[in-house]
Amino acid sequence: MPFMNRLSLTLCALALAAFVLPGRYAAAGERNGGRPTVGLVLSGGGAKGIAHVGVIKVLEEAGIRVDYIAGTSMGGIVGALYAIGYDAATLEKLALTMDWQDMLSDTISHRDMSLQEKIHDGRYAFSFPLRGGRISLPRGFTSGQKLMKELTRLTLPVHDTRDFSRFAVPFLCVATDIETGRAKIFNRGYLPDALRASMAIPSVFTPVEIDGRLYVDGGVVLNFPVSEARKMGADIIIGVDVQAPLYKKDQLDSLAKIMEQSVYFLGEMSNEKERRLCDILITPDIAGFDASSFENPAELIRRGEAAARALLPQLLTLAKMAPRPKDAKYRTPPEKKDEHYITHVRVRGLKNVSRSLVKGALALNTPVVVTTEQIEKALDRVYGTMFFERVDYRLEPDPPGEMLVVRVVEDTTNFFKLGLHYDSDMNAALLLNATFRNIIGEGSKLSFDLNLSENPMVETSYIIQTGIRPGIGAGVTLWYSRFDVYVYENDELIANLDYTTYGGDLMLFTTFSNPFALGVALQKQFILLEKKIAPADWVDGGMDFWNYYVFLMADTLDRVAFTRRGLFAYIEAMKINADPRADETIIYGPVYKYSVQLSAAIPAHRRLTVLLGSYAGTLVGDPVYAPHLFYLGSVYTNQRGIYPFLGLHFMEVSGKNMAVVYGALQVEPWKDIYFSLKANAGNVAERREDLADTEDPLVGYGMSMGMLSALGPLEFTVARGTGRDDLILHVNIGYRF
């Protein structure tokens, strides 16, 4: 801007501040018998609302005392935190350190899932509710579970304050009654509920039910509630509007912009009227940002600060005409209380899920002293059962401590799920799933999987959590699977067999802690091997078995694909009993199969993870039927008894005894883009003592490039084994199942 233009604007602002505003402020002061009251109004706008923090920084610097605050959506959240005592510096720190993408999603850590959910995690790319026997769309992309968790934590000091006028600064926020289309003014109630309703952007967040009414984002009808601040008693209004004018046709070039326009179209009609009610209107330059632009909060804060500084003369005049009383206790920071003495736990909102299941997942024996983090972890375990759309809490006074009120919204019980996958070993596959909850008993899950591919698979499982501590549950699984087996001898392919197995497992388990499970199971197994290409003296064969096994599992991994932190351990001991009716000419004694898998993901840096692990196993007894041997080969496997080994083809080597160690360095140079260097070493032998043979060990190494996409992990791997000249290429697309 030319110098003379800037000078002219500055002189005009000074003139306005010097001659026009003092008269208005003085008149307001006369009506109140002293200083005029100041209202701060913050508009909605999604991510653009972060600019409000920059404005508040300048208001504090200018010495402005705010007497009333009104806001909508993100403006409501920023305004509420300022109203209950957070200062500008704290708000800025929150905005800059918040993982916005994670907080605005419902993605639950693999670690916090219940046992039955961990088993199926990482299989499905898409999930749709089943209502009335038909596939339907969800009410929103996210239920706001993590958003509500954050709001609950930040507002803990005022959980028992129902009247928002009793905050350090009186406050209100706006939501929209989706049934009537009218604005709902929240100036009392439970603050996290009001804020969550005010930011329930249609189609993005599910609506919020409060006192029997259903609410969505207040920006639908009243995005800039200046008139409501006037009603609160504000004489002078400072309005901050971050909602840009409606986009032109050529600007509607993204889904985020189209959804933003759809939500705020009606609200824009009221915005012009509300803007005219402002005494000082601050409009940050948010060009280049939309409602979902959370990736650069620092720039949004800077732009808010710049817009407020442009009106600093007016703000300084206001501060001079309406000074803060020197002896007034103003905006006391919220008292932070990390430990809570919980006297009782009460669960609200249950309809079909048993109370014992919820309390079993909480694992809190009252009375008990817990931290806020421990409460949140307990609720994560409840949410991890996947029976609920949302799980949150509030603390209510219950002398001599507090009562923990756990509030649940039960999820749609039935779902249709879809998984897509391709890899170099199993080729393309489509996985269809139907999941039904609470069909046969409260806390139960019935699941049907159908794998449509060259290697078909069918699985039906039923698991029920009894709610009996410590996490006692039971389950039954029926399965059928068929795939090609390639047999190698001295690195040469000598046969191609059709491997079919089917049977069932009956299981009893206890999840004595969310990451840990101990179980015992009875298994009936049928196996059939048929040759496709094989030496002439090979014959088809089949056997059936009665097996018994016990297992111990520990799983604290944060996710299945491209794991960044956590531990995994699985130990199993199985007794294999061949059914004597299978082949009366052969005497089969019992065979004992022991196996252990250990892995760790250790974050060495924000973008670097060290992956370490090992697996080993041994078979005791004779004779051992070939499918029960330990098999090594390929990058990933999802079949029992088959283990990955870089530098070998799928199931290339086998034996009665096996031991492998592996390691990898996984780098994430850009978000969700990964590069890995991998290596493994080990041995397979007929005798356990031969595993220590170092003359001819198995060694492999390679590198991978991958990314985490909406379909799941995409990964390309190049590997090589010692003693061979060829490279093994492996492609993986989508979640493995």
Token pair for residue 243? 């909602």
Give the residue among 694, 701, 693 at the shortest CA–CA distance from 722: 701
Confirm if 235 and 277 have CB atoms less than 8 A apart: no
208-246 residues labelled b (16+ CB within 10 A) or e (exposed)? bebeeebbbbbbbbbbbbbebbbebebbbbbbbbbbbee
Number of other residues whose CB lies within 10 A of the CB of residue 479: 16
- Non-local CB neighbours of 478 within 8 Å, separated by 6+ positions: 459, 460, 461, 503, 504
Number of other residues whose CB lies within 10 A of the CB of residue 98: 15
Round to whole Å and give the CA distance between 209 and 570. 42
E strand or H helix at 102, and its extent? Answer: helix 100-103
In the numeric block, the tokens 């501060």 are attached to 319
Choose, from 43, 67, 73, 143, the residue flagged as catalytic.
73
State how beta strands 653-655 and 630-632 pair. antiparallel
Choose, from 67, 112, 177, 217, the residue flagged as catalytic.
217
Round to whole Å and give the CA distance between 327 and 224. 33
The arrangement of strands across the sheet holding 401-410 comes to 368-371, 339-348, 401-410, 388-398
Round to whole Å and give the CA distance between 434 and 419. 12
Instruction: Round the CA-based radius of gyration of the chain to a whole number and report it.
Output: 31
E-only strand ranges, 188-269:
203-205, 208-210, 213-217, 236-240
- Non-local CB neighbours of 672 within 8 Å, separated by 6+ positions: 707, 708, 709
The DSSP letter of residue 96 is H
Round to whole Å and give the CA distance between 293 and 299. 11
Confirm if 683 and 674 have CB atoms less than 8 A apart: no
> What backbone torsions phi and psi does residue 181 show, to the nearest 5 degrees?
75, 15
Q: Assign 3-class secondary structure to 664-688.
A: EEEEEEECCEEEEEEEEEEEEECCH
Confirm if 237 and 278 have CB atoms less than 8 A apart: yes
Confirm if 80 and 161 have CB atoms less than 8 A apart: no
- Does 73 qualify as catalytic in the annotation? yes
Three-class SS state of 31: helix
Round to whole Å and give the CA distance between 455 and 424. 13
Round to whole Å and give the CA distance between 325 and 218. 34
Number of other residues whose CB lies within 10 A of the CB of residue 733: 16
Give the residue among 112, 649, 638 at the shortest CA–CA distance from 361: 112
Give, in degrees to the nearest 5, the angle at Cα 433 between 428 and 437: 160
Active site (catalytic) residues = 73, 217
